[in-house]
């Protein structure tokens, strides 16, 4: 049996049980790493050889750990920084590792996966905010760029300008003055469609309000956004209640 960490020589001989215990040990270390808890790779390797992986070499276990990193990398999941993905791995073994990772609940790591979709990103951030994030995340020096197709609404500039002009520098939600002067030298407020365009709301002055950024975000993201919306209808006389047709998917319009 080879002791070279780069050698996949004994790969076919690994049983499902051996792979499963290796994956279990790997995930335990990965969770520790993601949560900022210290762990000792050499000690884990020793324990495996003293127990369920008796007969395996240190190097072959290390190589398996790197195979697991490769499978996680392929699944776009986080992996242990100290085990660089070793991708010279048979596809059968890789499939087996992926299946075993799923069986051991690797999906719980999905919240750590970078995404180009704003709504998925905010879901993942909310999820991660409830966990203990011990370490400073590695992040990315040059984030990947993807092209995504989106649909958007054609908006009437006169409606927006009229709503801003009639607000006269005061938020129609809270009554406070615009928080700062915009690049155009005018009071900065944002125009929000009370019945969202995505719910078939109209792009008319009777469905649009000028809000400070706080009130605008409140309309989209706050727990009390429905109550706040009702308050807007009461506060701004020109608004006309429209009938929704689709769910507001919180796209910021
Ligand atoms: Zn406001
Ligand atoms: Zn809005």
pLDDT for position 4:
37
Tell me which residues have their CB within 5 A of the ion that is ligand 2: 192
Ligand 1 centroid–CA 172 distance in Å is: 6
List, for the chain, all residue ranges whose pLDDT scores fall below the cut of 70.
1-12, 134-135, 245-253
Query: What is the model's pTM?
Result: 0.68
Contacts of 66 (CB under 8 A, 6+ apart): 5, 83, 84, 85, 86
Ligand 1 centroid–CA 164 distance in Å is: 13
pLDDT for position 1:
36
**Intervals of CATH 1.10.30.50 along the chain:** 157-235
Ligand 1 centroid–CA 37 distance in Å is: 42
* β-strand partners of 177: 170
CATH topology for 157-235?
DNA Binding (I), subunit A (1.10.30)
pLDDT for position 2:
36
pLDDT for position 169:
97
Ligand 2 centroid–CA 105 distance in Å is: 37
Ligand 1 centroid–CA 95 distance in Å is: 53
- Ligand nearest to the Cα of 215, by number: 1
Q: What is the largest CA-CA distance in the chain?
A: 82
Characterise 185 by phi-psi region: left (phi > 0), alpha (psi -120 to 50), beta (else). Answer: left
pLDDT for position 212:
98
**What is the C-alpha separation between 189 and 196, in angstroms, rounded?**
18
Ligand 2 centroid–CA 194 distance in Å is: 7
**Burial category of 112 from C-beta neighbours within 10 Å (exposed 0-12, middle 13-18, buried 19 and up):** middle
């Amino acid at each position: 049996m080879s002791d070279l960490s780069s050698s996949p020589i004994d790969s076919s001989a690994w049983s499902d049980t051996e792979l499963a215990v290796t994956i279990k040990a790997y995930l335990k270390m990965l969770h520790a790493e993601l949560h900022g808890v210290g762990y000792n790779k050499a000690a884990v390797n020793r324990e495996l050889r003293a127990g369920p992986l008796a007969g395996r070499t240190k190097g072959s276990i290390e190589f398996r750990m790197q195979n697991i990193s490769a499978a996680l990398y392929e699944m776009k999941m986080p992996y242990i920084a100290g085990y660089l993905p070793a991708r010279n791995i048979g596809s059968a073994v890789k499939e087996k590792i992926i299946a075993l990772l799923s069986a051991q609940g690797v999906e719980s790591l999905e919240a750590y996966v970078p995404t180009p979709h704003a709504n998925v990103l905010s879901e993942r951030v909310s999820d991660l905010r409830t966990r203990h994030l011990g370490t400073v995340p590695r992040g990315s020096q040059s984030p990947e760029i993807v092209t995504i197709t989106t649909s958007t609404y054609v908006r009437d500039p006169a409606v927006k300008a009229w709503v801003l002009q009639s607000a006269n520098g005061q938020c129609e939600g809270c009554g406070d003055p615009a928080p700062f002067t915009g690049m155009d030298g005018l009071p900065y407020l944002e125009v929000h469609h009370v019945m969202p365009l995505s719910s078939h709301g109209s792009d008319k002055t009777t469905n649009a309000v000028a809000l400070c950024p706080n009130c605008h975000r409140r309309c989209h993201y706050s727990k009390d956004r429905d109550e706040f919306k009702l308050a807007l209808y009461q506060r701004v006389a020109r608004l006309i209640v429209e009938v929704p047709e689709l769910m507001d998917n919180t796209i910021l319009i």
